[in-house]
Amino acid sequence: MLAGATVLSGCSADPVETKKAEASTDKYRNFYQIFVNSFCDSNGDKTGDLKGIISQLDYLNDGDPNSGDDLGIDGLWLTPIMPSKSYHKYDVENYYDIDPDFGTLEDFDELVKECHERGINIIIDLVLNHISYNNPLFQQAVTEVSEGNLDGAAKYFEIHKSDYFSDDTQVVRLSDGYVCEANFSQDMPEWDLNSEKTREEFTKIAKFWLEERKVDGFRLDACKFFQNKTVDGTEFLKWFYDTCKGIKEDVYMVGEDWTEDSDIQDLYKSGIDSLFSFKFAQNTGQIVGNMNTMQGATFAKKLKAYEGKMRESNPNAINAYFLSNHDQVRIANALQSKGLDFEKFAANVYMLMPGNSFTYYGEEIGTKAESNSNDAYYRTAMVFDSNNLPSINVGNIGSTIEPPVNGGVKQQLADKNSLLNHYRRLIKVKNQNPAIARGEITDLADFGDKEIAAYYNEYDGKKLMIVHNFNGKEAKQLEITAEMLENPEIAADLSTVEATRAELKNGKLTLPPHGSVVLETKAS
Ligand code: CA
Ligand code: CA
Ligand code: CA
Query: Which bound ligand lies closest to the C-alpha atom of 390?
Result: 1
Q: How far is the CA of 171 from the centre of ligand 3 (A)?
A: 11
Quote the CA–CA distance of 442 and 459 in Å, as a whole number.
Answer: 10
> What per-residue confidence (pLDDT) applies to 9?
44
Q: How far is the CA of 428 from the centre of ligand 3 (A)?
A: 40
Nearest to 321 by CA among 278, 261, 263: 278
Q: How far is the CA of 432 from the centre of ligand 2 (A)?
A: 12
Query: Which bound ligand lies closest to the C-alpha atom of 59?
Result: 2
Q: How far is the CA of 415 from the centre of ligand 2 (A)?
A: 18
Q: How far is the CA of 65 from the centre of ligand 2 (A)?
A: 4
Angle 107-27-233 (CA atoms, 0-180°, nearest 5)? Answer: 90
Quote the CA–CA distance of 75 and 33 in Å, as a whole number.
Answer: 9
Q: How far is the CA of 445 from the centre of ligand 2 (A)?
A: 34
Q: What are the DSSP E strand ranges found in 127-216?
A: 159-161, 171-173, 178-181
Query: Which bound ligand lies closest to the C-alpha atom of 36?
Result: 1
Q: How far is the CA of 101 from the centre of ligand 1 (A)?
A: 6
Output Rg (C-alpha) for the chain, integer angstroms.
24
Nearest to 480 by CA among 517, 426, 441: 517
Beta bridge partners of 67: none
Helix (DSSP H) and strand (DSSP E) numbers for the chain: 17, 19
pLDDT in tens, the chain (524 residues): 344 344 444 456 899 999 999 999 999 999 999 999 999 999 999 999 999 999 999 999 999 999 888 999 999 999 999 999 999 999 999 999 999 999 999 999 999 999 999 999 999 999 999 999 999 999 999 999 999 999 999 999 999 999 999 988 999 999 999 999 999 999 999 999 999 999 999 999 999 999 999 999 999 999 999 999 999 999 999 999 999 999 999 999 999 999 999 999 999 999 999 999 999 999 999 999 999 999 999 999 999 999 999 999 999 999 999 999 999 999 999 999 999 999 999 999 999 999 999 999 999 999 999 999 999 999 999 999 999 999 999 999 999 888 999 999 999 999 999 999 999 999 999 999 999 999 999 999 999 999 999 999 999 999 999 999 999 999 999 999 999 999 999 999 999 999 999 999 999 999 999 999 999 999 87
Query: Which bound ligand lies closest to the C-alpha atom of 37?
Result: 1
Query: Which bound ligand lies closest to the C-alpha atom of 30?
Result: 2
Nearest to 406 by CA among 494, 339, 324: 339
Q: How far is the CA of 214 from the centre of ligand 1 (A)?
A: 23
Query: Which bound ligand lies closest to the C-alpha atom of 184?
Result: 3
Quote the CA–CA distance of 217 and 374 in Å, as a whole number.
Answer: 30
> What per-residue confidence (pLDDT) applies to 12?
64
Q: How far is the CA of 411 from the centre of ligand 2 (A)?
A: 19
Quote the CA–CA distance of 490 and 509 in Å, as a whole number.
Answer: 9
Q: How far is the CA of 87 from the centre of ligand 3 (A)?
A: 22
- Strands 516-521 vs 488-493: parallel, antiparallel or unpaired: antiparallel
Q: Could you give the maximum distance between any two Cα atoms of the chain, in Å?
A: 87
Q: How far is the CA of 389 from the centre of ligand 1 (A)?
A: 15
Which sequence positions are flagged as catalytic? 221, 256
DSSP state of 211: I
Q: In 444-473, which positions are buried (b, 16+ CB within 10 angstroms) versus exposed (e)?
A: ebebebebbbbbbbbbeeebbbbbbbbbbe
